[in-house]
Structure 1
Amino acid sequence: MYFVINIIGIFVVIGIVFLCSPNKKKVNWKPIISLLIVELLITWFMLGTNIGKWVVGKIAAFFTWLVSCANEGISFAFPSVMANDTVDFFFSALMPIIFIVTFFDILTYFGIMTWIINIVGRAISKISRLPKLESFFSIQMMFLGNTEALAVIRQQLLELKGQRLLTFGLMSMSSISGSIIASYLTMIPATYVFSAIPLNCLNALLLASMLNPVNVEKEEDIVYVPPKEEKKDFFSTISNSMIVGIRMVIVILAMVIGYVALTAALNGILGFFVNGLTIQKIFSFIFSPFAFLLGLSGDDAMYVASLMGIKITTNEFVAMMDLKKHLDDLAPHTVAVAATFLTSFANFSTVGMIYGTYSSILGDEKSVIIGKNVWKLLVSGMAVSLLSAMLVGLFVW
């Protein structure tokens, strides 16, 4: 029965997004169906075949190796901390970001990451028949992060019309950065992190084409390539990457501390008026219908619903830390859908990041398109996470 409910959930999410679309007649269903078929095949390959599980295992091992390399640097600076049996979240999950950012920037510097993005982006564009820039952008933000990917195509964004600019804002809600993956692996199973990554990429394209259908002429369907003049020397690049990495660490740490503290304060206020009432319980009721559509029941559904609320109001790190404490107590299906749902940047603070990036690149006049469509960005982010979790849930019971 729960398997059937899981299938129904996929159609409910797509139906809700379709109802939210202001131009329902312009929605092209062929790319949507094509992408869904591709996603089902990818999910089956990763979770239902020995080869797929082996590939995911090798990728996870690679990122584990990257973390071990990062730990060498952290141990040099903080030997007594890293010698402990239990290492704090700041050192185990956040500090490795400094090295991971640098590593990916080195790959980009030598054209390796650009080559991968071009191949995968071109393949997605041909399969879906959606515009090239949108297809390439979905891959770029998967490796680089939403704000970094927007910065890469900034010259082309300056030439785009308002409505198409909204598409990139919608897609940016569903991103994940390669530099963050290692941090996720310290909290939730690697299998579901790497399952969520390609699914989020394709679902971002799929749902953005529904929420904001835009016709792109052939002559406008081009991808911006940064000139060689913009390329800095190698040592300047890696030095800047390390500075960017520590800034990311500080920002994430500040957000985690701040939001956890705010949640505790809000729970204290709520408990003053109603004994035992918390923000987690409120959101568990608000999001419970979607949790049930994930094929969950009873306490598991309410718990995952509370994780959804934590993620959208704070960030995925806070929710993942909570999930990590309960991994051994939850059913495999519950762990699969919860971990997949949490693997993205979709929350209120991400809306602010996207608006700030648009404002800095395009100016206040063009960035208004984001401010006027905040609800669409939130719908897009939540819908992508739900759809990815539902697809993974079909193969894990």
Structure 2
Amino acid sequence: MYFLLNVLGVFVVMGVVFLCSPNKRKVKWRPVISLLVLELIITWIMLGTTIGSWVINKIASFFTWLIECASEGIAFVFPTAMANETVDFFFSALLPIIFVVTFFDILSYFGILTWIIDKVGWVISKVSRLPKLESFFSIQMMFLGNTEALAVIRDQLSVLKDNRLLTFGIMSMSSISGSIIGAYLSMVPAEYVFSAIPLNCLNALILVSILNPVHVPKEDDIIYVPPKSEKKDFFSTISNSMLVGMNMVIVILAMVIGYVALTAGLNGILGVIVNGLTIQKIFSFIFSPFAFLLGLPLQDAMYVAQLMGIKLATNEFVAMMDLKNHLDTLPPHTIAVATTFLTSFANFSTVGMIYGTYNSVLSEGKSAVIGKNVWKLLVSGIAVSLLSAMIVGLFVW
């Protein structure tokens, strides 16, 4: 029975997103079905064979190396902070943005990144029948994270229309950052973290195709290359990249602090109205039907719904720390779906991070498209996490 509920959940989530779509007639179902089949194959390979996890680990090790390089620079300026066993979010996740942006801007300077975007995007787009840039972005944010991935393609974003800019904002809700994978692995099982990463990216393509279908003419399905007249010398380029990265860190930091503080303030007001009431508890009741559709018994469903509420109102770290304390008492299926759901940045703070990134790398006018469509970002982020968890749940019992 629980397996059938899990299968039903996949269709319910996609149905809810379809009902939320303002352009239902423009939805193309062939790419959606193709990507769903691809996801089932990938999940089977990752959870049923050793080669899948080996490949993902090799890719992850590259990004771990990038973060280690960034940590060298951070440790030079903040040796005491980096020497602590528990490194703060500011040092572990935000400051590495400076080096990551610079590294990929160097690749762009020599034309390497542009070539990769064009070729890899072409392969993914052939499978999904979606535009090349969107297809590559879904892969790029697999380990880079939303803010870093958006910064890397900022030249591409600067020439896009609002409807496609919204697409990238919606997709950005479904990523994580390579800089914090290690922190995840210290709390929850590695196989489900690594399963969630590619599934989130492919599900982001699926759900954005339903929630915000965009037709891109063939002549517009290209990778923007800045003219030579705009190309600066190498050292000016990397210096500017570092400044762009630092500006992003400051903007994102302000957004995260503000949203977490607002949540705390809202909980204080709710607590006055009803003793013990919090926004997390409200979300847990809202999500309980979807948790049940993960193929969970009632008691486990209510617990996982609580984790969902904690993640959305605060962040995945708080929820993962709670899950870590219950791993010994939960069955494999519950652990698998809960871990997969929590492995993403989909929460209120992330909306602020995306808006801040658009505002810092583009312009205030272009970032307004995010502010006007916050609900689409939240629906997509939650739906992607649910869909990924449901697909993983099909293979773990």
Range class of TM-score, shorter chain: 0.7 to 0.9
Gap change, CA 1:350 and 1:70, over 3 Å in 2? closer
Q: Give the C-alpha shift of residue 387 in structure 1.
A: 1.2
Specify the code of the residue in structure 1 equivalent to 2:213: P
Residue 126 of structure 2 is aligned to residue 123 of structure 1: no
Within a 5 Å distance, the mapping from 1:336-347 to structure 2 comes to: 336-347=336-347
Q: Give the C-alpha shift of residue 123 in structure 1.
A: 1.0
Q: Give the C-alpha shift of residue 75 in structure 1.
A: 4.7
Counterpart of 2:310 in structure 1 is 310
Counterpart of 1:384 in structure 2 is 384
Q: Distance in 1 between matches of 2:104 and 2:324?
A: 27
Q: Distance in 2 between matches of 1:231 and 1:187?
A: 45
Q: Distance in 1 between matches of 2:385 and 2:105?
A: 27
Q: Distance in 2 between matches of 1:217 and 1:87?
A: 46
Counterpart of 1:156 in structure 2 is 159
Residue 22 of structure 2 is aligned to residue 22 of structure 1: yes
Q: Distance in 1 between matches of 2:367 and 2:99?
A: 32
**CA offsets per residue over residues 140-170 of structure 1, 9 Å max, x none?**
444463542562313431xx3x545543443
Within a 5 Å distance, the mapping from 1:228-239 to structure 2 comes to: 228-239=228-239
Gap change, CA 1:78 and 1:44, over 3 Å in 2? same
Report the identity percentage: 76
Gap change, CA 1:215 and 1:268, over 3 Å in 2? closer
Q: Distance in 2 between matches of 1:149 and 1:70?
A: 16
Gap change, CA 1:106 and 1:327, over 3 Å in 2? farther
Counterpart of 2:201 in structure 1 is 201
Specify the code of the residue in structure 2 equivalent to 1:47: L
Specify the code of the residue in structure 2 equivalent to 1:396: V
CA contact (8 A) 2:138 2:202 kept: yes
Q: Distance in 2 between matches of 1:86 and 1:115?
A: 38
Length, aligned pairs only: 393
**SS of the counterpart of 2:159?**
helix
Gap change, CA 1:82 and 1:381, over 3 Å in 2? closer
Within a 5 Å distance, the mapping from 1:34-49 to structure 2 comes to: 34-49=34-49
Within a 5 Å distance, the mapping from 1:85-96 to structure 2 comes to: 91=91, 96=96
Q: Give the C-alpha shift of residue 282 in structure 1.
A: 2.0
Within a 5 Å distance, the mapping from 1:2-17 to structure 2 comes to: 2-17=2-17
Unaligned 5+ segments in structure 1 are none
Gap change, CA 1:310 and 1:235, over 3 Å in 2? farther
Q: Distance in 2 between matches of 1:396 and 1:101?
A: 37
Q: Distance in 1 between matches of 2:237 and 2:187?
A: 30
Q: Give the C-alpha shift of residue 219 in structure 1.
A: 3.0
The more displaced of 377-386 and 5-14 is: 377-386
**SS of the counterpart of 1:156?**
coil
Gap change, CA 1:332 and 1:352, over 3 Å in 2? same
Gap change, CA 1:386 and 1:108, over 3 Å in 2? farther
Q: Give the C-alpha shift of residue 10 in structure 1.
A: 0.7
Gap change, CA 1:22 and 1:99, over 3 Å in 2? closer
Q: Give the C-alpha shift of residue 21 in structure 1.
A: 2.2
Q: Distance in 1 between matches of 2:83 and 2:353?
A: 36
CA contact (8 A) 2:251 2:357 kept: no
Counterpart of 1:290 in structure 2 is 290
CA contact (8 A) 1:47 1:395 kept: yes
Q: Give the C-alpha shift of residue 290 in structure 1.
A: 1.4
The more displaced of 351-360 and 189-198 is: 351-360
**CA offsets per residue over residues 270-289 of structure 1, 9 Å max, x none?**
44443433332222111111
Specify the code of the residue in structure 2 equivalent to 1:203: N
CA contact (8 A) 2:193 2:339 kept: yes
The more displaced of 236-245 and 118-127 is: 236-245
**SS of the counterpart of 2:174?**
coil
CA contact (8 A) 2:39 2:202 kept: yes
The more displaced of 134-143 and 86-95 is: 86-95
Specify the code of the residue in structure 1 equivalent to 2:290: F
**CA offsets per residue over residues 17-52 of structure 1, 9 Å max, x none?**
122223333322111111111111112112211111
Unaligned 5+ segments in structure 2 are none
**SS of the counterpart of 1:287?**
helix
**CA offsets per residue over residues 93-142 of structure 1, 9 Å max, x none?**
55555555554444554555444433321111111222334323434444
The more displaced of 252-261 and 205-214 is: 252-261
CA contact (8 A) 2:67 2:178 kept: no
CA contact (8 A) 1:93 1:186 kept: no
CA contact (8 A) 1:170 1:381 kept: yes
CA contact (8 A) 1:57 1:191 kept: no
Residue 50 of structure 2 is aligned to residue 50 of structure 1: yes
**SS of the counterpart of 1:222?**
coil
Gap change, CA 1:104 and 1:164, over 3 Å in 2? closer
Gap change, CA 1:308 and 1:237, over 3 Å in 2? farther
**SS of the counterpart of 1:216?**
coil
The more displaced of 219-228 and 315-324 is: 315-324
Counterpart of 1:145 in structure 2 is 146
